[in-house]
Structure 1
Amino acid sequence: MSSRFVAGMTIEDALRAAESIQGQGIASTLDSLGENVTTPAEAQRSADIYHRLLDAIQARGLKANVSVKLTQMGMDLDPEHSLARSIVSDLVDHAVAAGTFVRVDMEGSEYTQATIDLVRALHAKPENRGHVGIVIQAYLYRSAQDIATLTGEGIRIRLCKGAYKEPPAVAFPEKKDVDANFIRLTEQLLDTSLYHGIATHDEAMVAAAKEYVRTKNIDRHQFEFQMLYGVRRDLQRALVAEGYNVRVYVPFGAEWYPYFMRRLAERPANVLFLAKNMLRS
């Protein structure tokens, strides 16, 4: 099951997957799996993998970027998050030199503000503009204001529904409310001049974005749809055929088992979601 949704164990596996989907007209974002490291040495080893990815993206001319989690870069190891800030700053410097982009993933809500603060600080350096972005989760009540703040500073966003189990004090508990907010936030993003990612496999959300683009006469190349590796490959191909930009999130690495188990344990609905996708082409 994991091989359908995880590209493999090694950097080379991830790069082969990126080359394969690029042949189908689809871009990629590469994610070396792992979270919540316990030592600075672990954090630096995680970062070294990303430096190797950035070199390979440049050398192979891939239409790709990278996605990183701050807890994998040592965010939990000091209260000021100075280690993670230093490590990710180096990655962004490398991405600037390589002509690509670092997306800082969003984790549980206890990390939301610190993640936003770190990305804003990195993006404030003039040389980093356009080379570092963030993820915003539609199930959080705070997301509309966060988007307003971030886009006001020119920061590119990947919008997703959210995969972590959150309390009703901070997140919409009902799917219908998350869906409605996702559509509102999609429109908020599309109204900016920035290049954002709309990350969803939900055909209703895709249709809502396409309709808004049509009615507002927004260039369909002004944003991209994003999906997970191995999920709704039929929809990915259909969107490319219609002239939309599509990027696939390509996870890889030895940490694939905790990645799967954590997601399935936190959100039991993910079990059915993945099972359904095993049956799709």
Structure 2
Amino acid sequence: MAELLKNFFLTLSNSRTLNAGAQKFGLKLGAQSVVAGTNIDEAIETIRHLNEQGIEATIDNLGEFVHDRAEATAAKEQILAVVEAIHVSGVQSHISIKPSQVGLDIDYDFCLENVLEIAEKAYEYGIFINLDQENYSRLHPTFSILEAVHAKYPGIVGTVIQAYFHEAMDNLEKYSDYRLRIVKGAYKEPADVAYTDKADIDANYVKLLEYSLLHAKYTSVATHDHTIIAHIKKFVKEHDISNDKFEFQMLYGFRSDMQKELAKEGYHFTTYVPFGEDWYGYFMRRLAERPQNLALVTKQVFNKKTNTLLGLAAGAFLIGRLSKR
């Protein structure tokens, strides 16, 4: 059942039609619990509240399905505005960028120019940039952008290692001099490039974390799995790894009590804070990652007696119908 739900929501996440329809609803389909508003001011206010609890943030101006230069340029300008807002407000936050949002699927050189323009401003203000990784077809182009940005603005940029890829350890070893976020992976990938069994992914994830903690410049342990978190807490203690070498990361809206508790325990903690009108693809992948997330949405949108899967499918269908009006 879990695998069926995952495939269901991953399929929905790739629908440009549903994405367009979802924007008409704002965040009324439950996404308001995991997306920090639709504009910069709302996102900055959310981050300010997190900072008051000893939690830093990485902010993601959501955007997908970018297929022309005008859309990519508009996204770049919005991200530049986010960098400016972080600087002016003084909140403790860095930014996360998806290369596809600023033109990777259009033209590599065009995308690189956009990222470099963002990096120039971030470098001026001392704001770190994380290049989010997406699906496998974008993996190596993103690494190339990483290297190009680092060559011009050293120390300002890092990226993500996804544990479900067979080559993840090779990539981790190659980029261990960068600040790295280690994740399990949230896209549907074929078996020839990625592990598909949860147990295999989890095992590789822990293996990558341990290597990164011992060898990488800085490690972001990005997971909501309390068992893995407990293992990492024990591992860093046994190997005398300083708290300044790593942080825990979770997504905004998930396991908030644990986020606060880890911060209170003295661990560096960063919350991934997404915002924007283009929230649909992100939201669907969060539902695909953890079937438990369905309950969160169902409580806010549908009658509790409604079957969760049917309710969400109906919601997705409704979005699609309304988007055609």
Is residue 113 of structure 1 aligned with residue 140 of structure 2?
Answer: yes
CA distance in 2, matches of 1:201, 1:263: 12
Residue of structure 2 equivalent to 1:242: 265
Partner residue, 1:37: 66
1:5 equivalent in alignment to 2:25: no
What is the rounded CA distance, in whole Å, between the counterparts of 2:294 and 2:50 in structure 1? Answer: 20
- In the alignment, structure 1 residue 21 sits paired with structure 2 residue 50: yes
Spell out structure 1 runs of 4+ moving beyond 4 A.
Answer: 276-279
1:258 CA drift (Å): 3.6
Percent identity (aligned): 38
Give runs of aligned pairs for residues 41-120 of structure 1, distance below 5 A. 41-78=70-107, 81-120=108-147
Residue 133 of structure 1, aligned match among 133, 149, 158: 158
Alignment of 1:194-233 (within 5 A): 194-233=217-256
What's the offset of the Cα at 1:262? 5.3
Query: What amino acid is the match of 2:217?
Result: L
With the length of structure 2 as denominator, give the TM-score of the two structures. Answer: 0.80
Report the counterpart of residue 190 of structure 2 in structure 1.
167
Q: Alpha-carbon deviation of 1:113?
A: 1.0
Structure with bigger RCO (C-alpha 8 Å, 6+ apart) = 2
* Structure with bigger gyration radius: 2
- Alpha-carbon distance between aligned partners in 1 of 2:59 and 2:242, rounded to the nearest angstrom: 26
Q: Compute the TM-score of the two structures, normalised by the length of structure 1.
A: 0.92
Tell me the amino acid that sits aligned with residue 194 of structure 1: K
User: 1: distance between equivalents of 2:72 and 2:277?
Assistant: 15
Contact 2:103 2:111 in 1 (8 A): yes
Aligned-residue offset at 1:129: 1.8
Q: Supply the AA of the counterpart residue of 1:270.
A: R
Partners of 1:215 and 1:176 lie apart in 2 by: 25
Distance change in 2, residues 1:130/1:276 (3 Å): same
Which ranges of structure 2 fall in alignment gaps of 5 or more residues?
Answer: 1-29, 300-325
Cα-to-partner distance string for 1:150-205 (whole Å, 9 max, x where unaligned): 11xx2111111111111111111111111111111001111125122110000111
Q: What residue is the counterpart of 2:149 in the other structure?
A: 122
What SS does the corresponding residue of 2:254 show, helix, strand or coil?
A: coil
Please give the per-residue CA displacement for 1:226-281, whole angstroms capped at 9, x wherever unaligned.
Answer: 100010101101111111011001111111124323554xx3x53433536988xx
Tell me the alpha carbon deviations over residues 54-101 of structure 1, each in whole angstroms, 9 at most, x when there is no partner: 1111112111011110110011112xx001100001111111101111
Distance, in Å, in 2 between the alignment partners of 1:166 and 1:64 is 31
Specify whether residues 198 and 278 from structure 1 end up closer, same or farther in structure 2 by C-alpha distance, changes over 3 A only: farther
212 and 274 in structure 1: CA distance in 2 versus 1, 3 angstrom threshold = farther
User: What's the C-alpha RMSD, in Å, of the aligned pairs?
Assistant: 1.6
- State the partner residue of 1:253: 276
1:191 maps to 214
